[in-house]
Every structure is written in structure tokens, then in C-alpha cells.
Amino acid sequence: MAGVDAGPGTAYRDDYWRSLLYFNVYRCLVPVVMIAVWFLDRQMLFGRSQPQLFLWAIGIYAAFSAVAFVGIVARKPGFERQLTTHALADALFVVLAMHASGGISSGLGLLLLASQAGAALISRGRMMLFYASFGSLGILAEQVWRVLFHPDSPSQFVQAGLLSIGYFATALVVRSLAGYAVASERLAAQRGVDLANLAEVNKLIIQDMQDGVVVVDERGRIRQINARAVELLGGRSLPERQAALIEYAPLLAEAHARWQRDGQPLSRPLRLPQPGKAGPREVGLRTVPVGDDVAGRSVLFLEDLSRIQAEAQQLKLAALGRLTANIAHEIRNPLSAINHATELLQETESANATDARLLQIIHDNTQRIDGMVQEVLKLNRRDRVHREVVELTGYLEIFATEFCKNERIERAVLVVETDSPLQVQFDRSHLNQVMWNLCRNALRHGSQLPGSIRILARHGEPSNASGSVLIDVVDDGPGIPLAVQAQLFEPFFTTVSSGTGLGLYLARELADANGGSLEFAAGPPPTRFTLHCKAADEATRA
């Protein structure tokens, strides 16, 4: 609250000083008008008794009022001191002018009513009875002087008393009005604070919304926009001035104008270009008018349909996972029975070559189905995570040895390179499944020559600052065709006839369950998959 101290513990706002300034303008005009009237028509009551005293009183009054501007502008001395000085000066100079004009019959005493009412309103009711008392004493003192030293003057104590009563009545009425004014000011101030808080809350809500929000005025200029809308509209920052919607987002402006003209919602999503990205982004638009006039302000809600589609896909995959898990569980027993019967038939000596071939086909396909069932059932394990601290250097060396032994390849085919030391938080069995899947894919598509498969473990960038560890699995194969790269992590997608299509999908799910992620480096060979793991912090290590 801007203001200057006017007393102990008191501060006055700018509007108090502004009111005092305007009131002082009135006080300057009063003596100027009285002097002008005196010069134009000297037959009036002004100054008829003592013209010289009248001119001196009014002149000093005008000079005092002019000098008072300096103190008001400088705000020194304090507000109450200045206001009290002005009110007392008004009473003094008006009583002198009234005395010089023949006493109370001149009517100049009425000027104090306006002066005291103005002073009381400016001070919001403070000191008003004191001002009324001082003015009344001045009027009565002038009447006593006139009776004592001018015996020929008629006694007008009744008029003086009535005028004094008018001063006090004015003070009391103004006090009530000032009370209402103070209450209104407090209410307005509280409402202003509430509105400011509400505006701030609305701003925070709009900024944190997942949907884009653009507020457009009746002239088509952007009055408010959140960060999500900026991202959906291409990421261009707004200029300092209020941008026109047609300049910032022409496609959105065209859709908004069509809505204003036809009153119909957008029938199909907008395809907004995204700088630096391969294709446009589909965005749903919903327009809501502010008020009843569609030509006035409007709020445009932008909804990222790709996010909705991704959420729908996640729900679909979750439902598919539950369904396939239930189916896999149900077919395990009959599948085991078929496989066991096939093995018994293969052991009989009466089977000829054709029968043996058919039985082998049945056995191989039941084994394949059983492998698929096992992969599906593993999807249920992603929720049962038991993280532990895994020291990568020793773990990867042991893993590489076991992998080469199990796959019957030379140990030199798989090369392990690690920064030291590296520790991650990961479920060891899950990490084993992910690494086994990645390395088996690399072995299947690589040359199987020494060094054809490389495992590179390193700190995230910048080193030791991101809290992550990256494990790259790289092979020297021909690479993955560009047409199928986008489908690598989809369930049941495979390019190998003997595959289940669940390996990479399961690997990504397990990485996600452990707070990490699995990514494929798109582009030309060599083929690179990167596993992002959480680094083990000091508390976990301890």
C-alpha cells in the first residue's frame, strides 16, 4: 500500500493524497472567485465593512492555498497534519472575510459547511467534530466581538447558533457517509484480492491442463494461451504484443471463423504441422463462447488425439494381455497332454517314416505353442518386481559366458565393454530376460563372427548426473527394414517364422516395470537397442 506515514502506525494510500489535492484546488478557487466578484460589483456584501481587511484575508487565503500544493506533492508533513492545518486555515480566513463583510449577515459562514464536509470526507470521518467545533467557536467569537465593540450592530446570536448547529449536523451526517465509504473500500479491496487470487488460480489451472487452451477476443487476438497449446500449435513462442490468431495459427483461425459463421462444431480433427517432425499432428478442437455472443470472446480447447489414441492403445493392449494370459493358462494342460502323447507315439517301434515325420511336426509345433504360452505367462510377472543393486561389470561377464555356452557359440562372438563402476537398480531375473532376448535377436541376425555382438554399458549423459545407466546391445547384421521399425515393440509382431512376437514387447514391459525403458536406435546398421536403467544411489548401495 503506497503512502506516507502520517502518524504512529498510520499510513495513507495514494487516493487520500489525491483527494486532498483535488480539495485544495477547490480551496484555491474560492478566494479567486470572491476577489473577482468584489472587483466586478462592490455593492455586494463582500468586504463592505472593512474592504482592506477583506482583501488581505482573501489574498493570504489564496496564497496559503497555492503554497499548500507543495506540501501535498511532497507529502511532507504527514497527511493528518496537513489536512488539519488546511481545515483550520479555512475556518480562520472565512471568519476574517465574514467579519470584514459585516458579520454573519454576509452569508460567508456557509462556505465553512462545504469546507468542513470536504475535510471530513477526505479523512474518512476522522477529526470532523474538532473541525466543526473550531468553526463554531470562530463564528461565535466573531459575533461576540461585534456585540462588544460595535454596539450599534444588531445581535445575531441565534443565526450564529443555528449555523454552528449546521456545522455539527454536517459533521455527523458526513461521519455516517464516511463510514459507508470506508466499508465499501474495504469490501472492494477484499473483492479485488479475491479476484486476483481467483485469476491466479485459473492461470495455474490453465497452464497445468493436458489440453491446450487459447482465449481469443472479439478482434481475433490471443489474450491467453497455455504451454500445451503452444506445443500443439508448433512450439512457436508468442510475440511480445498480442498476436493475431490468423498470424500465429492460420488453420486454427480458419476453423474458429467457420465456427463463428456457421455455429457448428468442427466435424473432423485439425492436422497441424509440427516443425522438425515427419508429419502433422491431429488435434481436436472445441470452441466455447464467453457469454451469449459467438462473435465475442471465445475459449478454444485443443485436444491431442494422438495422446487419446495412445491411451486407447494401452487399454487395448492391457485387455489383450489379460485375455491372452487367461487363454494361455487354460490351454497349458491340453497342450501338455498332446505333447506327452506325441512323445509316447514317437517311442513306439511300429511307426513308419511317414508317421514319424508327422509326429515330429506335431511335437515341434506343440513346443512352439508351449514357448508362446510361456512368454504370455511372463507378462503377468511384470507386476512382481524385486529390485536389487546389480553390479554390471561382473554381471555382464557372467551373463556373456552363460549365453555363449547355452547358445553353443565361441565366447569371442560376444564382447562386453563397461565403464567402471556401474551399479543399477533392477530385478535380476527381469534383467536376465531382457538381456537374453536382446542378445538372442542379435545372434539370430548377426554374422556370428568374433565381435559381432557387443554389449556396451555406460553412464547416462552427462556422466554421473542423470542418475541413469545405459546398456547398448549392438550387432553387425544387415539392420532392420525401415518399414517394420515402428512395429518392433508391438505384441505378436515377428519377422521370423519360428518367433512368437512377444520377446521385444515383453522386454520393454519388464524395463518399464523396473523404472527404465527400452529403445531402438532407428536408422541404418549397425542395429542398436538401448536399455535405460536407474542408477543405484548411495542410500541403496548402503
Per-residue pLDDT of the chain (542 residues; tens, 9 = 90+): 333 333 433 456 677 788 788 888 888 888 888 878 777 765 555 666 677 887 888 888 888 888 888 888 888 888 778 878 888 888 888 888 887 777 777 777 778 777 877 777 777 666 777 777 777 787 888 878 877 777 656 667 777 778 788 778 877 787 777 777 777 878 888 888 888 888 788 777 777 777 888 888 888 888 888 888 888 887 777 766 678 888 888 888 888 888 888 777 776 778 777 776 656 777 888 888 887 777 778 888 888 877 777 677 677 766 766 776 677 667 777 877 887 777 777 777 776 777 777 878 887 777 767 766 766 666 555 556 778 899 998 899 999 999 998 888 999 999 999 887 888 999 888 898 899 989 988 988 888 899 899 999 998 765 444 578 999 999 988 888 877 777 777 776 676 665 566 778 888 888 888 888 898 887 778 889 999 998 886 435 44
Cα atoms in the 13 Å half-sphere on the side-chain side of 470: 18
Q: Does the domain at residues 313-381 carry the CATH identifier 1.10.287? A: yes
In 3D space, the residue among 269, 271, 290, 220 whose CA is nearest the CA of residue 248 turns out to be 220
pLDDT of residue 453: 92
Establish whether domains 313-381 and 385-541 are of one fold: no
Helix 128-149 / helix 157-208 crossing angle, nearest 10 deg: 160
Residue 254 has what pLDDT? 85
Local structure of 285: helix, strand or coil = strand
- 3-class SS at 96? helix
CATH class of the domain at 209-308: alpha beta
Q: Is there a cis peptide before residue 526, judged by omega within 30 degrees of 0? A: yes
Strands 453-459 and 414-418: parallel
Return the residue matching grid coordinates 542410500.
Answer: 539
User: CA separation (Å) from 318 to 7, 379, 431?
Assistant: 72, 10, 22
CA gap 173, 210 in Å, rounded: 57
SS3 at position 37: helix
Is the separation of the CB atoms in 498 and 505 below 8 Å? no
The H or E element spanning position 473 is strand 468-475
d(CA 32, CA 24): 13
Whether 484 and 414 have beta carbons less than 8 Å apart is answered as no
Q: Is the peptide bond before 239 cis (omega within 30 degrees of 0)?
A: no
AA identity, residue 527: T
Q: Give the Cα-Cα-Cα angle 347, 351, 355 (nearest 5 degrees).
A: 110
Query: Which CATH class for the 385-541 domain?
Result: alpha beta
Contact 359, 348 (CB under 8 A): no
Domain boundaries in the chain? 5-188, 209-308, 313-381, 385-541
CB 469 within 8 A of CB 460: yes
Whole-angstrom Cα distance, residue 356 to residue 371? 22
Q: Are 442 and 407 in contact (CB under 8 A)?
A: no
Nearest C-alpha neighbor of 302 from the set 216, 201, 198, 199: 216
Q: Which amino acid is at 368?
A: R
Residue type, 27: R
User: Which among 107, 164, 173, 100 is positioned nearest to 136, based on CA atoms?
Assistant: 164
Alpha carbon of 13 to those of 3, 83, 362: distances in Å?
A: 5, 14, 94
Q: Which long-range contacts (CB under 8 A, 24 or more apart) does 276-283 make?
A: 281/232, 281/306, 282/306, 283/212, 283/232
Residues ≥6 apart with Cβ < 8 Å to 264? 258
Alpha-carbon distance values, 65 to 72, 103, 241, 457 (Å): 11, 23, 45, 86
Q: In whole angstroms, give the CA distance from residue 210 to residue 214.
A: 13
Cβ neighbours of 506 (radius 10 Å):
22
Beta pairing partners, 459: 469
Indicate the pTM of the whole model. Answer: 0.41
Judge contact between 392 and 457, C-beta under 8 A.
yes
Residue 429, pLDDT score = 83
Q: Which residues of 74-93 are buried (b: 16+ CB within 10 A; e: fewer)?
A: ebeebbbebbbebbbbbbbb
Helices (H) and strands (E) in the chain, counts: 15, 14
> Which region, left, alpha or beta, applies to residue 402 given φ > 0 means left and ψ of -120 to 50 means alpha?
alpha
User: What is the number of other CB atoms lying within 10 angstroms of the CB of residue 363?
Assistant: 16
> Which pLDDT does position 376 carry in this prediction?
63
Contacts 24+ apart (CB under 8 A), 242-250: 244/220, 245/214, 245/216, 245/220, 245/221, 246/220, 248/222
Q: Is 461 helix (H, G, I), strand (E, B) or coil?
A: coil
d(CA 397, CA 415): 9
What are 67-70's contacts with CB under 8 Å, separation 24+? 68/24, 68/27, 69/21, 69/24
Minimal CA–CA distance to 52: which of 96, 1, 106?
96
Nearest in space to 234 (alpha carbons), one of 217, 208, 207, 212: 212
* Distance separating alpha carbons of residues 506 and 433, to the nearest angstrom: 9
Confidence (pLDDT) at 382:
54
Say how far apart CA 68 and CA 21 lie, in whole Å. Answer: 9
CA distance 531 to 54: 100
pLDDT of residue 1: 34
Lookup result for grid cell 529390485: 387
